[in-house]
C-alpha cells in the first residue's frame, strides 16, 4: 500500500506564494530579558563588531536612544576616530555644490539666479550687492529719468521684479 503525502508544490512554476510552507517557522525572540515579543530588529553589540542583538521594536528604540558610538574609547581615541572619519567624508562635503548640477553652490533657486542675471551680478553675490545693483539700475532706467523710453521702462520693471524675488528669498532665509 502506497503512502500518500500531500504537497503544495506541483513542479515549476510554483503554484503557491513564497513563505507559505506548512511547517512551523522559527521566530527569534527579543534578546532583552523578560521580553516575549519577536526580535526582528538587529542592533550591533559594539562599534565595528559583526555580532548583533535582536530586539523588538520597543527595545530597539530604547537601545538606539542610549547608543554611544565612542563607548570604550578614551577621549584621544574618540577624537582621532572622529577626525579620521571626517577626513574620509570631506571629499563629499567639498563636492556638494554639484548636487543639483546647476550654477552656484546650490543655495539659490533658479528664480533667484535669473534675478541675479537681470541685475548683472554673480551667483554668490550677497544682499548688500543686490541692493546696490538694484538702486543703480533703477536710477538709470526710472521712467521719470527717461520719459517716453519703452525699453527703459521695461528694464525698470524687470529690475523691480528681480529685486522683489531676491528680497523675499532673503527674508525667508532670515526667518
Residue 140 falls within a domain, yes or no?
A: yes
CA atoms of 93 and 19, how far apart (whole Å) = 44
> Is residue 84 domain-shared with residue 129, that is, in the same domain?
no
pLDDT digits (tens, 9 = 90+) for 45-58: 876 678 888 999 99
Residue 75 has pLDDT above 60, yes or no: yes
> Is residue 32 domain-shared with residue 81, that is, in the same domain?
yes
What CATH number does the domain containing 114 carry?
A: 1.10.287.110
> Is residue 39 domain-shared with residue 89, that is, in the same domain?
yes
pTM of the full structure = 0.42
Inter-axis angle of helices 110-118 and 150-174, to 10 degrees?
Answer: 140
pLDDT digits (tens, 9 = 90+) for 80-119: 988 887 777 666 666 655 555 555 556 788 888 899 999 9
Q: Which domain holds residue 127?
A: 110-174
- Of 46, 61, 94, the last residue of a domain is 94
Residue 7 C-alpha cell reads as 504537497
CA atoms of 140 and 153, how far apart (whole Å) = 10
The predicted pLDDT at position 15 comes to: 61
> Is residue 87 domain-shared with residue 31, that is, in the same domain?
yes
Residue 19 C-alpha cell reads as 513563505
Is the bond preceding residue 113 a cis peptide, omega within 30 degrees? no
pLDDT digits (tens, 9 = 90+) for 141-159: 999 999 999 999 999 999 9
Amino acid at each position: 500500500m502506497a503512502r500518500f503525502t500531500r504537497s503544495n508544490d506541483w513542479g515549476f512554476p510554483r503554484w503557491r506564494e513564497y513563505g507559505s510552507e506548512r511547517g512551523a517557522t522559527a521566530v527569534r525572540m527579543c534578546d532583552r530579558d523578560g521580553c516575549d515579543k519577536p526580535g526582528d530588529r538587529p542592533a550591533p553589540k559594539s562599534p565595528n563588531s559583526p555580532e548583533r542583538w535582536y530586539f523588538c521594536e520597543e527595545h530597539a528604540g530604547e537601545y538606539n536612544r542610549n547608543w554611544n558610538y565612542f563607548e570604550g574609547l578614551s577621549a584621544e581615541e574618540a577624537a582621532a576616530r572622529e577626525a579620521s572619519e571626517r577626513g574620509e567624508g570631506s571629499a563629499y562635503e567639498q563636492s556638494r555644490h554639484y548636487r543639483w548640477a546647476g550654477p552656484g553652490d546650490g543655495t539659490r533657486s533658479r528664480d533667484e539666479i535669473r534675478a541675479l542675471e537681470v541685475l548683472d551680478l554673480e551667483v554668490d553675490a550677497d544682499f548688500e550687492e543686490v541692493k546696490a545693483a538694484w538702486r543703480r539700475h533703477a536710477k538709470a532706467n526710472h521712467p521719470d529719468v527717461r520719459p517716453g523710453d519703452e525699453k527703459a521702462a521695461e528694464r525698470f520693471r524687470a529690475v523691480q521684479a528681480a529685486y522683489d524675488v531676491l528680497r523675499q528669498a532673503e527674508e525667508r532665509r532670515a526667518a
